[in-house]
Structure 1
Amino acid sequence: MLFKLNKIQINLTRRITVITAFFMSIGIIGMNAHAHTPHDMVYAFAASPDYANDSTMFLITDGAYTGWRYNEILRSTDKGLSWTDIPNGMDHPFEYSVLRVSPKFASDQTVFAGLKGKGGIYRSTTRGDFWEPYNTGLAAWNMIVRQMEVAESSSGYVLFFADANGALFRRANTDTNWVQVLDKTNKVTIIAVSPDYATDNTLVIASNTGYLKKSTNGGNDWTELGNPTGSIIYDMAIAPGNATEMFLATPSFGIFYSSDGGSTFVNKGTNLPNEAINNIAVSPNYAIDRTVFCTSLKQSVFKSTDNGDNWTLFDSKAQITKQTSLLNELTDLQVSRTYATDKTVFLPVFDGLFLSQNGGNTWKQRQKTRRGILTGLALSSSFNSDQKMIATMYVGRSIAISTDGGTEWTTSGWPNPKERKMNFFDSQIVKNPNGTQTVISATAGRVGNSTNFGDSWTVKFVPRFPAINPGLVTFTTLAASPNFANDKEIYLGSRFHGVLQTKDAGKTWRLQHGVPLNHPTTNVAISPNYANDRTAFAATRSGQVWRTQDGGDTFLRVGTSSIKSIGWVGQRYTWVAISPQFATDNLVLVGTNNGIYRSTDGGTTWTKEIHTSVGANAVVQQVEFSPNFGADREAFVNVRGKGLFRVNLNGGGAVTASLNTTSSLLENENVQFTEFQISPTYAADSTILGAARESIYKSTDSGLTWVAAGFPDN
């Protein structure tokens, strides 16, 4: 169990505010620059209660570095030196609100993740290797998790959580259902459990107005403690020692302290800054060392060794990025349960994860989980013979080239990618009529093409559109015309500018009419018969699908009433795939967080897929048709938390059969593809390549077996 103070979440849009601020900020150059590159935001954190021995911790970070990926839970077993994504079973479309680890993790290996958007709680009893819902007994309106804490009991654990309405629920490891212990009129926003809960059964809750209630029998009965601070409360911590001492962090009056179980409080804030205190945490060795830690809105970390009478500031190295609200900058503070041995303090904040191993005196960043992460793959149109491919990355090499099917990699000739720390999000390889190939890629404010497979590039600047956003245009996806050699057309999806189009390989640009601004574009797809039908599609992060049938002059929304995504805005990632036989079958598939939708009339009308593997409840991240679709009738569907499915389609585009091709990778190696590509020469080589954060996997038998390929690292 970690002894930490729980932040108040002012309202249910806080997480969306953080992510929106992130997307807004990274497109703004010359304004509030982030403290470091790449961005390493931490939205929730938990460490093993046996950290001194197992070095294990978990965090949630932003997976949307391409604009269409879901947040990820990562695990480290080496004190943060390396991190592993643990997605198996996380088959929901929602954002996370909180992580907690069982106090008896060493024996029960149990981790909990609380979700927003009516996702409830997921539990893993395999230290995160497999997750499943833990919601028995909850109604749909109780499944938005605002706050969660876990207490140690004589038989295991007792988990408490507050829902979006402020009701409080309890479930022990021996229970089969959740039990409501306080109704929504209590407006619970903070939960603090006693470090000695196994013997004193004590917890304290705070309402959204700062009123406290205390229970000494696990939540069955409550005592009113009033509002001792006269304000709301940002955080709360109970010290070891039968819950007689507790600390409150406030937005206006610093820290309040009680030595009589909450009956009376005194203000403690000598030499703390005159600003809100948003986090507070107590040493589990408090009876001996009297140590307390806290952060203010702008400074971290303060330490007291006399139970809060005096405070000393130690520089944590965490920076205020100004990319989110001030309350969301220094979001958390936790102390290792084995602090007496390891002296470890954790500061998971918007700027990253910072860690001290000497009681808070010195700090270093312990999480760099996004440098060199793969953001895209593109395969040569002659892959069967030349084995050439391109990988794009978040920082790292930016664009890397392989000429042996992904085993060895070299840096491309894009001008100064490392010096500029560019982030590339997509590439495409177009086969020209004369048999040559053109590689197209983009980074913030620049688009380039190469006719020698990345050795050198012609790079064009994309103009700014200050009326929309003052920064560089930041891209998420691109699609080039199949006839690029002649028409020079490229569609680019962006974070804030909707879809842009060039008809002269980047010399001039126009914003597309129709596709909404400030809704990140997750996918752009162009008809293989574009020269004749002038058709292209764009999908957005808000679950919308747009179509042009006049070469980009106008975009109109399709499937308005029939394509139904679920969840909050910001989690409705959408993907469009167009049949290679589109000229004759007019087949289009759309992947959503609510399964697949298909159209057989070019996108005018839509039908929901009902096959269990990719239908309802399937959170679809990517859909691609087999390049040999006319003969094999195959498509591939990447489902969050489940794996990559190879599906067979009938003449109407409905799924008739499916096979999970990566179940063994997901179950045995925690590998979930964030991007996959099918060889353009699939009819001859049966090759698929998948990228999973920092690894590339390859199958040469249509997904039946996989081997790890090389990785284009730094």
Structure 2
Amino acid sequence: MYGLKNIYTMINKFSSFIFILFISQLLSFRSSAQTWEAIPLVSQKILNSGNTGGEGCQWPQAIEMDHTDGSFLLFGTDVGGIYRSTNGGLNWEPCNIGYNPRGNCGFAIDPNNNNRALAVGGNSTTNQSHGLYLTTDMGASWKHVLPISNYDGFRGFKDKVAFVKGSFDAEKQASQIAYWSNPSGGIYKSENGGLAWTKVNNDFGDCILKVHPDSGFVYVANQNGFYKSTDGGKTFVKKTEASVRDIDVVLTEPNSVYLTTSNALYKSVDGGNNFVKINGTSYPANVVTLKVSPANPLRIAICNSEGDYTKPAYYSEDGGETWKKSQFDNSNAFMPFNGRTHKFCWHPTNESKIWAFGGDWITSSSNGGKIFKWDANGYTGVLVGGTINFNVSNSDLVYVASQDYNGAFTKDGGKSWNYCNASNLGWGGFTYAAYAASDKVLVTMVAPGWHQAGPITISRDGGVTFTKTNLICSGLETACGDAKDTAVIYFREYYSKDLGHTWQKMKGCNGVFIANLSGEKEVYGANGKAVVKSTDKGDTWQTVANLPENVLDVAIDPIKSRLFVVTNGNRIFRIEDSKTEELTSKIPTDQYNNKAIKTVAVDVNNPNIVFCAGPKNVYKTDASVKRSQDGGNTWEIITPNNRTNTEIPASDGANEVFGVRVNPKTRDVWCTG
């Protein structure tokens, strides 16, 4: 989640801002200061340990560290964007400005220049945003240097892109030659530092790719064997028939190549021409990844697959002769642990420091892999389930549902959170829509799968325990309170007048979006294409307006009694004095000339300030959150990007937002995704 903090008026989690999404998160944003802040899901216990928190929650696919001093790291997820650390992993932040894909499946940091790196775009489906991206400012911004649209990169763990250290240009202070094994076919080569690319080979796409640091010889490997090229990737000679799972090369031992099959480790000391099996003891039987320490190549880490969610790490301190299983300390993790395929990166000079994945978060070891500990401050990527609303009488109370990870509850406006295991499952759970009716009564819906119907589920002890009702919900994924009566709860297509003890299905409303905190204190919802309102706490509903598409969200200007309405089709309308005006044409387009409109909110303290937002899902729109300061007549993009922003600071945030709400007390804008 993210939030825009309100220095004058308003206030993202581009991915936990609560930019809770996928690219996911909670964020809060302050209107005039133009500052996006992540809202990590973090407990008071974790805060007391000296950490700021980072719940993670997106499937990790790539991690890379620089080759000089270990200060710069990049981390990629399947569909939740990319993150960076510029202080050796002490803190992480989203870094998607100019980066259009929703996910990532590989990085290469220039061994001669930490400012430069390549990123391989990916997502769960093919898209025009994929291909290669280049940064020249340590991930603060990116340029799409090689668009390739016909691959997805989903669960793409192979190392597939590399710079040649020996191609250093003293005048340009950067490596000039780089290679990429394209997942959809072929090998591409750059001879100008990654700016331009040429396809040099048609046969070795979707391979593991490494290079000899000095000579630039190219190594590729797949299930059919290990291959070497001495002519710049044009032709390859097979050097071994082994079914290769992973390979590694380290700068400090340039002629060595390490290779693993599922159950054996091999080493070459002559540039990949010949391999010798390392007859170590306790080598696991289904190894999937491998990484060697450049500071001390006797230290090696591997990941072994022992089931869909059982992926232990192993370490060796003697070059692979003996192996021990790593331990994981998850005491500072907010979310449940789920085993993932580990990718590793070793510190370039500290042989004891290694990074990996731990559940759906970042983890590190300071003792060579013996014990990995949660180490993900700033990695905020939880996907929120449905829209959020502040408690109508106390905006410090917020309950957030989550697809995959149950959800969380805060009583102090997002400073600290409690995990809410509404599903009563150990791994997480699917919840859609949530509302804190008080500091004790929390309401959500637990689904058996993504966006499926499920029962209303209630906690009466602040989220410690939950009880499922027999009421199955299939209405809009939204929940709200009533400013007239704090005992009233609107949850999807149901409402309760006694804090959830009894429920009735609403007649003429399929979900309530927002309550007017002043005036008539009415509430607004939707019934298909109709905007509806109730002035009697949900007993009856009147149609306010009929729109051309199904209604997705409503916001109210309490001073002028006008409504802003978002519908399907990425459309937005203003309803004032019984007149409906479409505002869609006024909304700025994104980098692909599309509009993203799924949610809307008004700053009730200054209702001329209106926000609308939306995701594109198959790619990351650079125009997710928009703001109007004149009641919807003109709009500006406030999601940071390198295309339109002039006042937004360089820090990333508020990407792929599908929920936006303004805290009526603090004027912070909370964005969820």
> TM-score when scaled to structure 1?
0.59
Deviation at 1:658, TM superposition (A): 3.3
CA distance in 1, matches of 2:86, 2:474: 35
Aligned to 1:507: 501
Any conservation in 2 of the 1:380–1:388 contact (CA below 8 Å)?
A: yes
CA distance in 2, matches of 1:290, 1:411: 42
Q: Which amino acid aligns with 1:461?
A: T
Deviation at 1:313, TM superposition (A): 0.9
- Structure of higher RCO (CA pairs closer than 8 Å, 6+ residues apart): 2
Matched, 1:125 2:136: yes
Any conservation in 2 of the 1:599–1:605 contact (CA below 8 Å)?
A: yes
Aligned to 1:80: 89
> Residue 289 of structure 2: SS of its match in structure 1?
strand
CA distance in 1, matches of 2:557, 2:564: 9
Aligned to 1:190: 208
Deviation at 1:262, TM superposition (A): 3.6
CA distance in 2, matches of 1:611, 1:351: 35
CA distance in 1, matches of 2:255, 2:353: 25
Q: Which amino acid aligns with 1:104?
A: N
Once the two structures are superposed, residues 317-367 of structure 1 have per-residue CA deviations (whole angstroms, 9 ceiling, x without a partner) of: 279x9x9999x72321222222xx453222234354332334445543323
Deviation at 1:213, TM superposition (A): 2.7
Deviation at 1:103, TM superposition (A): 1.6
Aligned to 2:588: 612
Name which of 36, 39, 43 aligns with 2:61: 43
Aligned to 1:281: 291
Structure with a larger share of its residues in helix: 1
Identity among equivalent pairs (%)? 14
Aligned to 1:270: 280
CA distance in 2, matches of 1:97, 1:533: 43
CA distance in 1, matches of 2:650, 2:312: 42
Aligned to 2:112: 104
Aligned to 2:231: 217
Matched, 1:525 2:532: no
Alpha carbons of 1:485 and 1:670: their partners in 2 closer, same or farther (altered >3 Å)? same
Q: Which amino acid aligns with 1:646?
A: R
Deviation at 1:114, TM superposition (A): 2.8
Aligned to 1:170: 189
Matched, 1:365 2:365: no
CA distance in 2, matches of 1:508, 1:160: 63
> Residue 123 of structure 1: SS of its match in structure 2?
strand
Deviation at 1:303, TM superposition (A): 0.9
Any conservation in 2 of the 1:237–1:282 contact (CA below 8 Å)?
A: yes
Matched, 1:597 2:579: no
Alpha carbons of 1:261 and 1:649: their partners in 2 closer, same or farther (altered >3 Å)? same
Aligned to 2:73: 57
Once the two structures are superposed, residues 367-386 of structure 1 have per-residue CA deviations (whole angstroms, 9 ceiling, x without a partner) of: 3556999979755768xxxx
Q: Which amino acid aligns with 2:200?
A: V
The gaps in structure 2 that reach 5 residues or longer are: 1-21, 23-52, 306-310, 447-455, 540-547, 616-620
Aligned CA-pair RMSD: 6.0
Aligned to 1:696: none
CA distance in 2, matches of 1:670, 1:484: 39
CA distance in 1, matches of 2:65, 2:180: 18
Any conservation in 2 of the 1:225–1:262 contact (CA below 8 Å)?
A: no
Once the two structures are superposed, residues 517-549 of structure 1 have per-residue CA deviations (whole angstroms, 9 ceiling, x without a partner) of: xxxx9x973698999997346xxxxxxx99999
Matched, 1:624 2:643: no
Any conservation in 2 of the 1:525–1:536 contact (CA below 8 Å)?
A: no
Once the two structures are superposed, residues 552-609 of structure 1 have per-residue CA deviations (whole angstroms, 9 ceiling, x without a partner) of: 9xxxxxxxx999xxxxxxxxxx96345669x9999632488xxx3246899x999965
Aligned to 1:647: 628
Deviation at 1:243, TM superposition (A): 5.7
> Residue 330 of structure 1: SS of its match in structure 2?
coil
CA distance in 2, matches of 1:378, 1:125: 40
Any conservation in 2 of the 1:438–1:449 contact (CA below 8 Å)?
A: no
Q: How does 1:208-357 map onto structure 2 within 5 Å? A: 209-219=223-233, 221-225=234-238, 228-229=241-242, 231=243, 233-238=244-249, 244-251=255-262, 253-285=263-295, 290-297=298-305, 298-306=311-319, 308=320, 310-317=321-328, 329-338=340-349, 341-350=350-359, 352-357=361-366
Aligned to 2:198: 179
Q: Which amino acid aligns with 1:190?
A: I
Aligned to 1:115: 122
CA distance in 2, matches of 1:125, 1:457: 46
Aligned length: 551
Q: Which amino acid aligns with 2:469?
A: P
Matched, 1:689 2:668: yes
Q: How does 1:657-668 map onto structure 2 within 5 Å? A: 657-658=635-636, 660=638, 666-668=648-650
> Residue 535 of structure 1: SS of its match in structure 2?
strand
> Residue 106 of structure 2: SS of its match in structure 1?
strand
Aligned to 1:150: 162
Deviation at 1:200, TM superposition (A): 0.8
> TM-score when scaled to structure 2?
0.62
CA distance in 2, matches of 1:659, 1:37: 26
Any conservation in 2 of the 1:257–1:267 contact (CA below 8 Å)?
A: yes
Matched, 1:535 2:526: yes
Aligned to 2:49: none
Once the two structures are superposed, residues 140-183 of structure 1 have per-residue CA deviations (whole angstroms, 9 ceiling, x without a partner) of: 33686955322222222333333332322222444642211222
Alpha carbons of 1:588 and 1:351: their partners in 2 closer, same or farther (altered >3 Å)? closer
Deviation at 1:225, TM superposition (A): 0.5
Alpha carbons of 1:272 and 1:154: their partners in 2 closer, same or farther (altered >3 Å)? same
Aligned to 1:490: 490
Q: Which amino acid aligns with 1:588?
A: V
CA distance in 2, matches of 1:547, 1:268: 70
Q: Which amino acid aligns with 1:535?
A: A
Aligned to 1:462: 468
